[in-house]
Structure 1
Amino acid sequence: MTLLPALRGFGADRADAVRVAGRTLSSEALLGCVNAVADRIRGAGAVAVDGTPTLETVVGMLGALHAGVPLVPLPPDADERERRRILRQSGATLFLGRDLPDTHRLPTVPVDLRQRSSTRHPEPSPGTDAVILYTGGAGGPPRGVRISRRAIAADLDLLTQAWRWCEDDVVVQGAPLFRAYGLVVGLLGALRVGSRFVHLDRHAAAGPVGTMYLAMPEQWARIALNSRWARSLTAARVLISADAPLPSAVAERLRLLTSHSPVQAYGTTETLIALTGRADDRTAAGAVGTPLPGVQTRVLDREARPVPADGESVGELSVCGPTLFSGYVGAGQGFPAGRWHATGDLASVAADGSYRIIGRCGLDVVHSRGRRMHAGQIEEALLSHPGVREAAVVGTPHHALGEQVTAYVVAEGLTAQVLIDHVGRYLSACQRPRRVHFVDELPRSAHGRIRKSLLIAAG
């Protein structure tokens, strides 16, 4: 099995095969640079690469994969303590790139794009670890997830069919390179299919021309507020959103501005993309589509019983299939083939088989007077107000209710009562926030996840 045909000399030589931060490498130059890195690190235990999006980062990451050495991407916003923890747990023995002061005294191998090599490296075994990615850390310390080359190839081949992805596409993506969506789906997907790849800077005010756009919900929300930028996407073939649920209000504004209904996809670090809408198919607003072929799913209630496919009943989503991870770092035995992985995400299933992701099992549920209210539904109602940029809902202690609905909102020119009344137009009275806090920004982990535990502690 060849994981990345583009790194084996297959396909056309493109002058602009990869573009990051305005810098470009041709197919031939990319292969030469990647070979040069692979020459220097072959046989290492695991290598770490800083996830800041640069051409050097991309070449370093691809060099590790080409050499068959497990890749450990480091979140650029992680503090020294977190980086040291990742490096220690993952077993990284080298650091690729510029020398960082807190790389746990690892030997550093610089990535120099002037160095080229024509060495032919053998293709590693499909079952070996390709990457070690760390989970988002929204509900606890991030865990190292071992993902095999076989799982990556299986997921990308299924997505190629679902999204009608071909070598003529130009993939423009804004997801971080240290996350599964940006690294595996965006970068490795383009190299497996043979399409051009453009990494979009997250602070960009406009985007380059492409046929496939991959971005996260907060990025789509920013694009939706920039009418000129959004209308430039009209010529695209497909818009794809993943990593978190896309608010219906954002999806509708994008549809009006671009004439495209964004395709939503769902996956975790452990499952990769497991459910998705299909290119050119209309999926109900808020739905993340159906399971990929060969991927099995089930939604169980608190008594471990399957919930009915009525679009309303909610349970925990579990996944089984060829895209699953090999195991957690330091967990001893690997993840057995055929075993179900409980994602920790709440979901509902509609009669047509499409899924809707509600939120996390613990932090995204508010328990009030014996009722379980899902934060995701309240957040979506808040985000439907045109003045709200971001919103997070948590349950905070209340002397009579047990927990009350508390909202943290990034917005301007609004009052708490306006938003409480706005939610009341869509949801029941008990789902209206009792407290609304206006903040400049929501606290996030180094991986970009909203840290609801800090919001609960703040009250």
Structure 2
Amino acid sequence: MSPLFPALTEALADPDGTAAHRSALRFGDRSLTYGELATAAAPLAARIGEAGRIAVWATPTLETAVAVVAALLAGVPAVPLNPKSGGSELGHIVADSAPTLVLASAGDQLPPALSALERVDVDVDVRAARAAAAAAEALDPGFSPEAPALVVYTSGTTGPPKGAVIPRRAVATTLDALADAWQWTGDDVLVHGLPLFHVHGLILGILGPLRRGGSVRHLGRFDVTGVTRELSAGATMLFGVPTMYHRIAEALPDDPALAKALARARLLVSGSAALPVHDHERIAEATGRRVIERYGMTETLMNTSVRADGEPRAGTVGVPLPGVELRLTEEDGTTALAAYDGETVGEIQVRGPNLFTEYLNRPDATAAAFTEDGWFRTGDMAVRDPDGYVRIVGRKATDLIKSGGYKIGAGEIENALLEHPGVREAAVTGEPDPDLGERIVAWIVPADAENPPLLAELADHVAVRLAPHKRPRVVYCLGALPRNDMGKIMKRALIHD
């Protein structure tokens, strides 16, 4: 297989060449050119080349980026670890993945769950005099496309986290498909403040720019001021999750510098959960720019996206990426929907070179995740327009509500609720009902806690915009919705509350 990072390979081969002097990574006031990244990563790759499988303490730092790049150069599978994980979860991941060592920043305090692992501190304080070319002798650009690149653990919402084994083939094909869809080149400078232990922040946000030969500026931690600063200083792309774009939308009316900075961006991309239409419209009105959405998951990397040269249709995740096959199926999980009408809900199933290989040590779970003819069951429910655009309406387990004979997606009701001026945040679930089968329940964070909107008011608001059978029958007011590290609403915490 050809190298994952051509510009880095060029910098290794010619430390004084043009590629070596291009900016690669910047975290705060610390940065590395491609030559410096090669100088830091190549010796580390040589050091871990026989390690088998390694863990990476994935803090939002240069050290994490260098550690993962070194593992990929060495052909050693890396297991990114969330520093916020509890002891029992970390213990499960370490026992399941069995890494031989852990890479970390020198100053990191590692938890007891990692105490049995050999520790290797990542050194990014490189000197130009170090001979990167000599270290490159240990690197083999000819790894098999099916060789594992990463083992990324799922969120574990239905049991202990499972390790999705992601091959080099999936990393390369997903990033190249996104380059096609987003017209992503080495001239792009990406800004983001996402964690580095999952697909969005690590593969798209760090490995994506490096594969293109471009650069990334990581904020360390997301804040609106950092977004304004970097987009005003030549950055061209912004990656974020809905929580981040919601904060941006909230800040825009009082922050003309932010509006001007966003208007200069070539591409604003949101992912990991649906961006409410209300926030889409507020950002577009203030900046003249549309946020585009893409759809993926740990096991599949990226499946669809709104294209840079396509219609930025709010509330959709665009069309399948090059090389990705996508279908919607009936409740039996095998019968594909006969036609796409923008209304009929089905489960998304995908297949293509972007998919993971297996769940580590879980052949039963791997087999259950695929149909007999090789389609991966995502568990996400969607409708598809005649022109191929996909609109996700929720998860099969928590967001598909069967009420009064209708199949209803929670997502469209949430978007309708967010259009009400008295609603700041919203989530929708179903609960058993003796007459309807399930009734629709709305969980809202009111804009004014002292004067929340009444059930009848919200029910009428939804019924007018969607249909009467989609109106909520119960409303609960909360101070905040439970969310995970990616900003996704944890609906199981609501259902079992």
CA contact (8 A) 1:290 1:353 kept: yes
Aligned counterparts, 1:41-80, within 5 A:
41-80=48-87
Aligned counterpart for 1:87 among listed residues 85, 89, 94: 94
Compute the displacement of 1:140 (Å). Answer: 4.2
* Distance across 2 between alignment mates of 1:102 and 1:416: 48
Deviations 1:262-308 (A, max 9, x none): 22111111111111111132143212111122211111111443222
More helix by share: 2
* Distance across 1 between alignment mates of 2:156 and 2:121: 29
What is the TM-score with the length of structure 1 in the denominator?
Answer: 0.93
The answer on 1:352 being equivalent to 2:387 is: yes
Equivalent residue for 1:325? Answer: 356
The answer on 1:102 being equivalent to 2:90 is: no
Aligned counterparts, 1:370-409, within 5 A:
370-386=405-421, 388-409=423-444
Aligned counterparts, 1:246-257, within 5 A:
246-257=275-286
Identity of aligned residues (%): 41
Amino acid at match of 1:245: A
Aligned counterpart for 1:204 among listed residues 207, 220, 223: 223
Going from structure 1 to structure 2, the CA distance change for 1:131 and 1:162 (only over 3 Å counts) comes to same
Amino acid at match of 2:426: A
Aligned counterpart for 2:492 among listed residues 448, 453, 459: 453
Secondary structure in 1 aligned to 2:281?
A: helix
- The CA RMSD measured in Å over matched residues stands at 2.3
Secondary structure in 2 aligned to 1:17?
A: strand
Aligned length: 458
CA contact (8 A) 1:264 1:287 kept: yes
Aligned counterparts, 1:309-320, within 5 A:
309-320=340-351
The answer on 1:306 being equivalent to 2:336 is: yes
* Distance across 2 between alignment mates of 1:141 and 1:393: 25
Compute the displacement of 1:437 (Å). Answer: 2.6
Aligned counterparts, 1:42-191, within 5 A:
42-97=49-104, 98-104=108-114, 105-114=116-125, 118=132, 119-120=135-136, 121-123=139-141, 124-191=143-210
Aligned counterpart for 1:282 among listed residues 311, 316, 323: 311
Compute the displacement of 1:318 (Å). Answer: 0.6
Going from structure 1 to structure 2, the CA distance change for 1:16 and 1:410 (only over 3 Å counts) comes to farther
* Distance across 2 between alignment mates of 1:447 and 1:236: 23
Compute the displacement of 1:415 (Å). Answer: 1.1
Compute the displacement of 1:332 (Å). Answer: 3.8
Compute the displacement of 1:160 (Å). Answer: 0.8
Deviations 1:301-353 (A, max 9, x none): 11443222110001011101111111111124978997211111111111111
CA contact (8 A) 2:304 2:319 kept: yes
The answer on 1:239 being equivalent to 2:268 is: yes
Going from structure 1 to structure 2, the CA distance change for 1:222 and 1:100 (only over 3 Å counts) comes to same
CA contact (8 A) 1:136 1:445 kept: no
Compute the displacement of 1:426 (Å). Answer: 1.6
Equivalent residue for 1:260? Answer: 289
CA contact (8 A) 1:49 1:73 kept: yes
The 10-residue stretch of structure 1 (318-327 or 70-79) with the greater mean CA deviation from structure 2:
70-79
Equivalent residue for 1:3? Answer: 4
Secondary structure in 2 aligned to 1:226?
A: helix
Q: Which has the higher contact order (CA 8 A, sep 6+)?
A: 1
What is the TM-score with the length of structure 2 in the denominator?
Answer: 0.86
Deviations 1:231-277 (A, max 9, x none): 31111111112222222111122211222222211111111111111
Going from structure 1 to structure 2, the CA distance change for 1:262 and 1:205 (only over 3 Å counts) comes to closer
* Distance across 2 between alignment mates of 1:139 and 1:66: 34
Going from structure 1 to structure 2, the CA distance change for 1:313 and 1:109 (only over 3 Å counts) comes to same
Secondary structure in 2 aligned to 1:288?
A: coil
The answer on 1:225 being equivalent to 2:226 is: no
Rg: which structure is higher?
A: 2
Going from structure 1 to structure 2, the CA distance change for 1:81 and 1:433 (only over 3 Å counts) comes to same
Compute the displacement of 1:448 (Å). Answer: 4.9
Equivalent residue for 1:415? Answer: 452
Amino acid at match of 1:358: V
* Distance across 2 between alignment mates of 1:147 and 1:332: 15
Amino acid at match of 2:316: A
Compute the displacement of 1:71 (Å). Answer: 1.0
Compute the displacement of 1:14 (Å). Answer: 4.0
* Distance across 1 between alignment mates of 2:159 and 2:391: 24
Going from structure 1 to structure 2, the CA distance change for 1:139 and 1:412 (only over 3 Å counts) comes to farther
